[in-house]
Structure 1
Amino acid sequence: MCSSNPFTLKWHQDYITRGFGSLKNLYLNFAFHEKRAAIVEDGKLMELFIDNPFDSSGTGNIFFGKVVKVLPGLGAVFVDIGLSKNGYLEQGDMLSGRRERLQNNEPLPEVLRVGETMLVQITKEGSSTKGPRLTELITLPGRHIVYMPGSGYMAVSKKIQPEETREALRMFGECLLQGSEGLILRTECQTAAKSVIKEELEGLRKKWEGIQKSLTDVPSLVYTDATLLEELLRNRVLNEVDRIETDELESFKNLERNPEFSGKVFMYDGKENMFSKYGIEKQIKKALQPVAWLKSGGNIVVQETEAMTVIDVNTGKNSSRINREKAVLKTNDEAAAEIARQLKLRNISGIVMIDFLKMDQEEEKESLLSSFTKALEKDRTRTSILGFTSLGLLEMTRKKTSLPLKDRLAENCPACGGTGFVTSTETLAYRMERKLWEHRNENKKLNIKVSPSLFHYLHKTNRIQELEVMLNIKLELTVDEGLLKEGFRIEDFK
């Protein structure tokens, strides 16, 4: 067994000595219920994967659901799949038979009726305000192929070259299909034996048969997509790294038996949590903050909103070191690399608007676009750069498949309700004054509970005494730690 403590430092030194450049580690924090995997390159957290075993709303999971609402105007239906929010199924994601009927002008309420059951798969995770996106076009991905039991679609990865090889694989794949089956041959097929591909296809067919036999309760989860380790293997993440370290014996044994990872799998046996030991926990916390600092002293500010993500680039501490033109170019260049990293690490998706520092020359913009495009090539998720707007903002998109890191690890602040700000203490004091005005001259004693900050403010400004005289009432204040948002509460009158 390879233990991390005796070999880690020597392995790293040998790697650098042999001239292989930057070291890319994969840490598997699998010892607990929540499974986590982190890709760290030269000490910097590049990508984070999280699998919550108690969350069934992940992309790829298959449900037996029931239509609960039909929306003819939108060409979509809501499907109850047993989660807190109903799933959303559009016309384009329905089975081909339903799509043909709709294209022949048959009304949607006749094609799909409320109460009708269906098998659906999550293609995009939901959010705090929206349910998950669904499809009836089920896909079962393997390491070499993606099996689509009802699509009738055949495709070969565009990364497979030359064209003659792609065409030969396409013909081979078409010979494997039965009935309405569909198939995508992934890049790994280029070097895989045909017998291996056939064996994987048979395994996926049996998996599909098992899913169809499990359709009993409605709504219910009938299939859970791959475990985190299986997903990493399937997407060849483990093949991209130089070293793998895990704190779980089972995953260590599974990987050590695989000849693909010979000599680069290590067992972590430290007492301290692995992510704490290697500084990953601190970097995860930083990824939840809006500001990310650059090496030169500049920074980027990331603001995620419902409609889009806005990123602002600042020279920060870098502005006074060298002349402005060099500071702008250096900061923008560093920001491009860091933004590409943050998009992947924070799993930001949708529309992204980036306000780089202003550049006067078109050549400078083209150079920045080139370096930013190159940095995004490392992202497994599809991205698209649309160019600079008339206001000088760089516009881009990143495909959404799962929740952003912020939504996965954090929740709305109970004090501000997720707005990022709270009502000022002074405003709360005036609001309380207006409420008390309604009880002026009642000659009663009012019992009021207030937040700690409001209590301090009222006493510091002598506002209580002024209100008692002005309103001809007696006020009794007590501190309530739970009134951070409301500020005060008038409970009873005596």
Structure 2
Amino acid sequence: MRTIALHTQTSEQIGLVLENNDVIEYVSTRPEVRTLSGSIYLGKVSHINKAIQAAFIDIGEERTGFLKKESVPWAQTSIEGTLKEGQSITVQVTKEPSGTKGAQLSADITVPGFFVIYQPYGKRTAVSKRVDAEQAEELKTWTSQQLGKDEGVIVRTAASKVSTQTILNEINQLRDLWTRHIKANTTDRSHKLFDDPILPDQLIRKHPLPLIKEIVVNNSKLGQWIKQRYPILAEKVKWVKSVSTYTGISINELQSKLIQPVVVTEQGMELVIERTEAMTVIDINSHKFKQKSLSSYQKLEMNKAAAAEVAKQIQLRNISGIIFVDFISMQEKKQEKDLQKYMSGLVRKDPVSTTILGITRLGLMEITRHRRFSNVSEELSAKQKPTFSKDTLIYRLERYLTENTQSEAVLVAISSDLYNHKKQLLSNSISSKIPQELFVRHDASIIDWQIELEGSLDMIQTVISERVYHVDNLF
């Protein structure tokens, strides 16, 4: 059973999902980061591009949105035959703006619920592929009978566990939300009609109803809103003064763990997680066991233990896109197939669509995961600029001083740490190799070295005297 814990009293709002007292998902929203996906807007057609059969829609945001002809359910001819410039149209954001590109839009509106996704212009009924084929056909037939001529519905997996009356109640609720609160909220100007926030809505709907034990909030207004928006969850909403105290999870401590690239399993293996622009690579480091002779069975069992942690970290850190996992090498193809099957079972529990594509010829397991929300580690940590090693910094200083023959004297400021490292690295002094008079001083305010002054010997000696510097001539 899962607990959804919502920390919403601070500027950065956090949503955690706990299973057996262990955090399996972390989601956050920040004031400076706006998410448009799922939001419904009343927009105006600002321009139609016949060549690419698309329209640019003013939705009242910084950039116009992009609407393809295929995303207009009633489009039977060309885009210019369907829409006119200046025309008002209700659209929904399906993809966030990126760079100079505006949001990607659809006129096939969806109003999401727990058991169904209501489509006022859908004209069709679809059922989740995770529902048994026979039950799916029954649900499709029954649901179609509850809809009007233009309406459509996508029946979610959770609907297979509840009564048809519960499903009908939600269809009516979503229909009412659309007709009375979204569609009716129209004016002459472009503006947002409906928001589908990550917290709490999108997070809550990701998890199957039978698995939700409770929803813990520290904001009574939010608790009331969840009860109103999702009546079936009303008895599971619980207000507490401190969510951290209730769950025993410190957000700050959790964040400190989530930015670490190395995760140690209970068996003593290490997962080294490295993110690149194109993909994420997870290396299973089994250095503790390299001196031991492991049987085929032991290797498979160790890989299965590592796979469980890999699946957990992928969901917890919200790693998406292309993922490669370098497991302990196994000689037999049967073992690789067993591991692949085991991993497929683990990721099936992930609410976000995840696919195990197989194991490459190099022995890497290839995984793809749908992009949803932001990568947790990237959101929490700052990008590090490449830095030189201490050895390289010393060699660069030596090279600079050797090649610079224009000045009579040089004053160098250097950190104490780097100064001491030079003594360990080079037995011969640098000052004996150069033609200039060299003065070196320690400076705690810098992390490497910098040339503070170059010029005549008299000038530099005067500066050293005036500033009362303590300098070394031998370096």
TM-score range, shorter chain: 0.7 to 0.9
Q: Is 1:429 aligned to residue 394 of structure 2? A: yes
Residue in 2 that maps onto 1:470: 434
* 5+ long unaligned stretches in structure 1: 1-22
Partner Cα distance (1:480, 1:92) in 2: 63
* 2:196 paired residue among 225, 235, 246: 225
Percent of aligned positions that are identical: 24
Partner Cα distance (2:291, 2:426) in 1: 47
Q: Is 1:479 aligned to residue 432 of structure 2? A: no
Residue in 1 that maps onto 2:472: none
* 1:204 paired residue among 170, 178, 184: 178
Aligned residue for 2:267, secondary structure, equals coil
Residues 77 and 89, structure 1, Cα contact 8 Å, conserved in 2: yes
Structure 1 residues 331-342: aligned runs within 5 Å: 331-342=302-313
Task: Tell which deviates more after alignment, 463-472 or 150-159.
Answer: 463-472
Paired AA for residue 38 in structure 1? L
Deviation, structure 1 residue 240 = 1.5
Deviation, structure 1 residue 371 = 1.6
Residue in 1 that maps onto 2:37: 59
Q: Residues 88 and 402 of structure 1: is their aligned pair in 2 closer, same or farther, counting only changes over 3 Å?
A: farther
Task: Tell which deviates more after alignment, 399-408 or 310-319.
Answer: 310-319
Partner Cα distance (1:77, 1:67) in 2: 8
* 1:422-450: CA deviation from partner (whole Å, max 9, x where unpaired): 2123323333444455652433x555555
* 1:334-378: CA deviation from partner (whole Å, max 9, x where unpaired): 111111111111111111111111222333222212221111111
* 5+ long unaligned stretches in structure 2: 460-475
TM-score of the superposition, structure 1-length normalised? 0.71
Paired AA for residue 389 in structure 2? S
* 2:148 paired residue among 176, 191, 212: 176
Residue in 2 that maps onto 1:309: 280
Residue in 1 that maps onto 2:140: 167
Q: Residues 396 and 433 of structure 1: is their aligned pair in 2 closer, same or farther, counting only changes over 3 Å?
A: same
Deviation, structure 1 residue 117 = 11
Residue in 1 that maps onto 2:105: 135
Choose 1 or 2 for highest CA Rg.
Answer: 2
Q: Residues 458 and 371 of structure 1: is their aligned pair in 2 closer, same or farther, counting only changes over 3 Å?
A: closer
Partner Cα distance (2:220, 2:399) in 1: 65
Residue in 2 that maps onto 1:9: none
Q: Is 1:30 aligned to residue 8 of structure 2? A: yes
Deviation, structure 1 residue 332 = 0.5
Residue in 1 that maps onto 2:23: 45
Residue in 2 that maps onto 1:360: 331
Residue in 2 that maps onto 1:442: 407
* 1:227-284: CA deviation from partner (whole Å, max 9, x where unpaired): 61233443445641334443333445667898855776554445x9438833564344
Deviation, structure 1 residue 399 = 0.7
Deviation, structure 1 residue 131 = 6.8
Deviation, structure 1 residue 139 = 3.4
Q: Is 1:488 aligned to residue 450 of structure 2? A: yes
Residues 315 and 327, structure 1, Cα contact 8 Å, conserved in 2: no
Q: Residues 145 and 24 of structure 1: is their aligned pair in 2 closer, same or farther, counting only changes over 3 Å?
A: closer
Q: Residues 238 and 432 of structure 1: is their aligned pair in 2 closer, same or farther, counting only changes over 3 Å?
A: farther
Residue in 1 that maps onto 2:117: 146
Residue in 2 that maps onto 1:241: 212
Residues 321 and 371, structure 2, Cα contact 8 Å, conserved in 1: yes
Aligned residue for 2:296, secondary structure, equals helix
Paired AA for residue 470 in structure 1? I
Partner Cα distance (2:421, 2:87) in 1: 60
Q: Residues 50 and 426 of structure 1: is their aligned pair in 2 closer, same or farther, counting only changes over 3 Å?
A: same
Deviation, structure 1 residue 323 = 3.8
TM-score of the superposition, structure 2-length normalised? 0.74
Structure 1 residues 5-404: aligned runs within 5 Å: 24-57=2-35, 59-61=37-39, 95=72, 101=78, 121-124=92-95, 134-137=104-107, 138-148=109-119, 154-158=125-129, 159=131, 161-172=134-145, 175-178=147-150, 182-188=152-158, 191-193=163-165, 194-209=168-183, 213=187, 215-216=189-190, 223-226=194-197, 228-236=199-207, 239-252=210-223, 260=232, 266-269=238-241, 273-274=244-245, 277-278=248-249, 281-318=252-289, 323-404=294-375
Q: Residues 329 and 464 of structure 1: is their aligned pair in 2 closer, same or farther, counting only changes over 3 Å?
A: closer
Aligned residue for 1:359, secondary structure, equals coil
Number of equivalenced pairs: 446
Paired AA for residue 148 in structure 2? L
Partner Cα distance (2:138, 2:402) in 1: 83
Residues 67 and 106, structure 2, Cα contact 8 Å, conserved in 1: no
Task: Tell which deviates more after alignment, 223-232 or 58-67.
Answer: 58-67
Residues 284 and 326, structure 2, Cα contact 8 Å, conserved in 1: yes
* 1:375-394: CA deviation from partner (whole Å, max 9, x where unpaired): 11110111111111122221
Q: Residues 292 and 360 of structure 1: is their aligned pair in 2 closer, same or farther, counting only changes over 3 Å?
A: same
Partner Cα distance (1:167, 1:291) in 2: 47
Q: Residues 227 and 333 of structure 1: is their aligned pair in 2 closer, same or farther, counting only changes over 3 Å?
A: closer
* 1:205-237: CA deviation from partner (whole Å, max 9, x where unpaired): 344426653744xxx766532361233443445
Residue in 2 that maps onto 1:12: none
Deviation, structure 1 residue 286 = 2.1
* 1:124-143: CA deviation from partner (whole Å, max 9, x where unpaired): 5578x897862334533233
Deviation, structure 1 residue 87 = 8.8
Q: Residues 430 and 386 of structure 1: is their aligned pair in 2 closer, same or farther, counting only changes over 3 Å?
A: same
RMSD, matched Cα: 4.7
